[in-house]
Each structure stands twice: as structure tokens, then as C-alpha cells.
């Protein structure tokens, strides 16, 4: 079926970029869906363990992220919200896919090459997690997987593993097509506009968190990197003006307009107003939901139960096909 499936790793507190590039897209998919089984959105908490995490901090991050999913407008009566770790089939199928993958393929994965190769304290899970990501996808049998350039390699590996498994053991998996979505809001770090705004960065001076108060947003935007250009055409998008371009992109993505803006001070003021207006309803809903953590937990518990039902047949087919 033409199913929407997306997961976010709780390795840090969600940012404006996560809202504009992911959560807002999830809500749009929800609005187009006809059943909760059309959209599965989850927290891939097992992926967070590929690097060291303080258990208390991870637990708090998961709770905040789950609350923000609902605060952003996701309705549990219209979509399925779940936690990866609460659906055992993800771990079980991951091992079967590890038995299908080759070390040469995993050696080429960019995450391992950049973060783990040659580092003595690298966790084995960082090396093998592409198999878990493949399981995350194949368990739900989506026809298409929308993916950005940073994850395209992993989805292509998923296709390779599905094709190899089907050829070796029989037609168990749907081989999903890779789709690069139309260019959307790509929010860059306000202090280093060459890098994407990251939820896991330690220094968040250039990162707008979804729970940042208006005065915090104002301070961060005011200190955003621009350049020394002056004149009436200084406020413009250009490859050689990454900081200004980033601010303009944020302004547009948040529903603002740069018409008539000729100074960086005016630009930053407009960006601040647009961002604060975008975050205001989400933050209001977040405060209300945070007062009822039992409800938030129950939503993800129910969604995870539904996922166990949906994934059971896929895992059973894969296990039987391998002779187990």
C-alpha cells in the first residue's frame, strides 16, 4: 500500500528544522490519509543507542519528543504513533537482515565511515544499524520511501537486502522505491550556516529548539551570522551569502515575507516574529500535553501495540522463509 512511514531518532531536542522539514510534513500526510494504517510515525529510540546516552537524559528526550509529536498536530485517531523499542519485530528482523547483508556493504555506510571507523570505542551497533533501519522500513511494506540525500544510501541498502532476501528465500518483502521529495525547508545552523541545524549538537547557540521561549529565539536570531555586505541589495539569497540566505529561507518557511527589507537588523526582526508566531501554537499545546504525561504515553503504547499486529505477519514470513 502507499503508506507513509517516518521515524526520528531521539538523540537531542527537536529543532525548528525538525518541525519545518518533518513534523509539518507528517501533519500534511495525516490530512491526506484515509486511515491510521496509512501513516506510521515513530521514535526510533534503538538507533539512539549507537552512541553513548545517559539513560535519564534519553528518557526525558523521548518523553519531550513524543509530546511534541502530538503538540505539532498529529492525531492518534488518524495516524499510528509508536516507539521502535516497543515493537520487538524491529530487533528480530534486523538480525535476519544482518544474516543477509555483507560486511563490505556495511563498511561503505557513510555514518560508520565518518563516526566509527578507526575509533576504538565505536559501538558495534553503529556498524550494524543500517540493517535495523532496513527492518524499520521493510516491516511496514511501504511502496515508496521519501528520503533526503543524507539517508539515501541506507534506503538503497534496504532495497538491496530486500531483493537479495527475496531471490534467496522467496518473495517476502516489498522492495520500496526511493523518492527524493521536492526541496523543502532546509534550516541551517544560525552560527554555522554551512551545517544543518542539528538536534544533537552540544552548543545550541545557532539552534532554535521547539520549546525555546520567544526571548531565547530573539537572542539566537539576533546573533545569527550574516556578512559585511551593505547597500539596498544586501538582503538577498546567494551562494556566497549563506547566513543571509538561511535567514531568508527560514522567514519564507515560517510564512513571512522579505518584501521591503533592506537591512540585516530588519531581516532578523522579521525572522524572529515569524518563528515565534510559528512556534506559539505548538508551544501552547505542548504545555497542556506535558501536564498529562500518562496520556502521551498511552498514545504511543496503543500505537506500538498496533505496530506489533501489523509487523507480525512480515516477521513470520521472513522467519519461515529462512527455515526457522
- Residue 249 in contact with residue 189, Cβ under 8 Å? no
- Residue 91 in contact with residue 132, Cβ under 8 Å? yes
| CA gap 136, 287 in Å, rounded | 31
SS3 for 29? helix
DSSP 16-75: HHHIIIIIHHHHHHHHH-SSGGGEEEEE-HHHHTTS---HHHHHHHHHHHHHHHHHTT--
- Residue 250 in contact with residue 269, Cβ under 8 Å? no
Three cell numbers, residue 22: 518533518
Instruction: Note if 220 is an active site residue.
Output: no
Task: Give φ, ψ of 139 to 5 degrees.
Answer: -65, -25
Instruction: Note if 196 is an active site residue.
Output: yes
113, 115, 195, 284: the active-site residue? 115
Count the residues in the chain: 324
Burial class for 103, CB neighbours closer than 10 Å (0-12, 13-18, 19+):
exposed
113, 195, 196, 241: the active-site residue? 196
199, 220, 241, 268: the active-site residue? 199
Q: Are strands 144-146 and 177-179 parallel, antiparallel or unpaired?
A: parallel
Question: Residue 187: which of 268, 240, 251, 255 has the closest Cα?
Answer: 251
Instruction: Note if 241 is an active site residue.
Output: no
- Residue 226 in contact with residue 264, Cβ under 8 Å? yes
Hey, which residues are catalytic here?
A: 115, 196, 199
Amino acid at each position: 500500500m502507499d503508506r507513509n512511514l517516518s521515524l526520528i531518532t531521539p538523540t537531542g531536542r527537536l529543532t525548528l528544522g525538525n518541525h519545518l522539514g518533518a513534523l509539518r510534513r507528517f501533519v500534511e500526510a495525516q490530512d491526506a490519509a484515509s486511515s491510521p494504517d496509512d501513516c506510521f510515525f515513530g521514535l526510533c529510540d534503538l538507533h539512539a543507542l549507537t552512541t553513548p546516552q545517559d539513560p535519564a537524559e534519553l528518557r526525558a528526550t523521548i518523553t519531550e519528543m513524543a509530546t511534541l509529536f502530538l503538540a505539532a498536530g498529529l492525531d492518534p485517531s488518524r495516524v499510528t504513533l509508536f516507539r521502535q523499542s516497543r515493537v520487538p519485530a524491529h530487533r528480530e528482523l534486523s538480525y535476519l537482515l544482518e544474516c543477509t547483508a555483507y560486511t563490505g556493504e556495511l563498511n561503505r555506510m557513510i555514518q560508520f565511515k565518518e563516526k566509527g571507523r578507526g575509533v576504538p570505542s565505536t559501538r558495534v551497533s553503529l556498524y550494524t544499524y543500517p540493517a535495523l533501519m532496513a527492518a524499520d522500513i521493510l516491516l511496514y511494506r511501504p511502496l515508496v520511501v521519501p528520503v533526503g540525500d543524507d539517508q539515501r544510501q541506507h534506503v538503497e541498502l534496504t532495497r538491496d537486502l530486500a531483493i537479495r532476501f527475496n531471490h534467496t528465500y522467496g518473495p517476502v518483502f516489498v522492495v520500496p522505491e526511493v523518492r527524493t521529495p521536492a526541496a523543502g525547508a532546509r534550516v541551517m545552523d544560525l552560527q554555522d550556516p554551512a551545517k544543518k541545524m542539528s538536534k544533537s549538537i552540544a552548543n545550541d547557540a545557532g539552534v532554535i529548539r521547539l520549546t525555546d521561549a520567544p526571548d531565547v529565539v530573539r537572542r539566537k536570531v539576533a546573533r545569527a551570522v550574516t556578512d559585511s555586505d551593505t547597500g539596498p541589495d544586501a538582503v538577498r539569497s546567494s551562494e556566497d551569502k549563506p547566513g543571509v540566505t538561511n535567514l531568508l529561507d527560514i522567514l519564507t518557511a515560517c510564512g513571512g515575507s522579505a518584501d521591503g527589507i533592506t537591512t540585516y537588523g530588519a531581516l532578523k526582526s522579521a525572522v524572529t516574529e515569524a518563528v515565534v508566531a510559528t512556534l506559539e501554537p505548538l508551544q501552547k499545546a505542548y504545555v497542556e500535553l506535558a501536564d498529562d504525561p500518562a496520556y502521551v504515553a498511552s498514545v504511543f503504547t496503543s500505537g506500538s501495540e498496533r505496530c506489533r499486529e501489523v509487523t507480525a505477519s512480515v516477521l513470520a514470513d521472513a522467519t519461515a522463509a529462512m527455515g526457522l
